[in-house]
Structures are given as C-alpha cells and as structure tokens.
Amino acid sequence: MVGAIAFLGREIAVLQPETDLERAIISDDRWKVGARWGKPRPGHPEGKIEAHIGEVLANLERLGLDPTSRRKLRLVALVHDTFKGEVDRARPRSGDNDHALIARRFVERYTDDEDVLEITELHDEAYRSWSIGSRRGDWARAEVRARRLLERLGPRRDLYLAFYRADNAAGDKRAEPLVWFESLLQRQRRLVP
C-alpha cells in the first residue's frame, strides 16, 4: 500500500513498506541516514532522497505493473539514490565512488535478485549515455554506450525502462533523455526481432 502526500502540487508516496524485505531495508540505520540526505537541486527539487523515493514509488503505482515487476522495482526505488551522500565529492564519481554501485552493494546484503541488482546499478546509465550526446555533441558515442547498456540488460530491458520512466517523471527532470532512449530502444527492436 502506498499512501500519498502533496509536494509542490504533486502526489508523493509515503514510504510504507509492504514486505518484510522492504521493512528490513528501511529499518537499516545506513539506509535511514542516506534517505534523509539531500537538499533541493536541479532534477531533485524535493531535496531529501526519501521524498524522491516517495515520488518514484507513486510513479511506479501509475504504471500498472504486474505484481512481480512492481515488487522488484519498489526495491530498486528504495535504494537507487539513497547513497548519494556517501559519494566522495573530491574523487571522480565512478567505480566504487558511484552512488549506484554503492546502492547495489548495499542491496546485495538483502537480495540476490539479479533484476533488482542490475537495475539498481545501471539506473542512471541511459541518462549518462544521453548526456554524452547532449553535453559533448557526440551522439555516436552516446548510442554506443546506450547499446552496451541494452546488451547488458538483455531480457530485463522492459523492466529497466519501466523504472527509468518512473524515476524520470520525478522532480523536474527533463523528458529528452527518456524520449531519446525510448527511440533508440524502438529502433533496436525493429532491427532485432
């Protein structure tokens, strides 16, 4: 069950765990610290991670997912951005210092579900691919990176896309990265039946 509160004229889910696994995750002291981190910033006017998580959960509800996909993506939502506060800003935000990899390692303590683990780790990769084209003008390199993502995702592409839609609809994120990625995915589906 997801309750809702109003935030900036939008409904945001209140974090109400539905399973023992969700309860265990949000009871973890490290998760609590991470969820309370943040202040308003571009893409995240809601500030604290817990508000962003609530908005992503509400967006997942609107997608009408099957129960298994919904359960998996709720777990991803709970952890995907929760450890941004642990990133060392003095170092490059990659490898062991990437919030998504930190989140994956955290959630590995709770589940071995590869869908949850992969989507948690890769949740920003479509956006990062688009950024190469948008910021550097290198759309060929952006597509190569996105195609590598799609290869790695394999049969979990649609699950990833559902999460990307829910995450991208949160805050004040731009639609262009999602539209670009969906277009690329559609072109690839036409080429590979």
pLDDT one-digit tens code per residue, 27-38: 999 999 999 999
Look up the pTM and report it.
Answer: 0.91
Q: Name the pLDDT band for 3 (thresholds 50, 70, 90).
A: very low
What is the predicted pLDDT for the residue at 157? 97
Tokens of 106: 């955290």
Rounded to whole angstroms, the Cα distance separating 98 from 53 reads: 18
- Specify burial of residue 101 (Cβ count, 10 A radius: 0-12, 13-18, 19+): middle
CB 13 within 8 A of CB 55: yes
Domain coverage including residue 124: 3-191
Tokens of 132: 């190469």
Rounded to whole angstroms, the Cα distance separating 148 from 127 reads: 13
What is the predicted pLDDT for the residue at 5? 46
pLDDT above 60 (res 166) = yes
Please tell me the total count of domains within the chain. Answer: 1
Tens of pLDDT, residue by residue over 65-99, are: 999 999 999 999 999 999 999 999 999 899 999 99
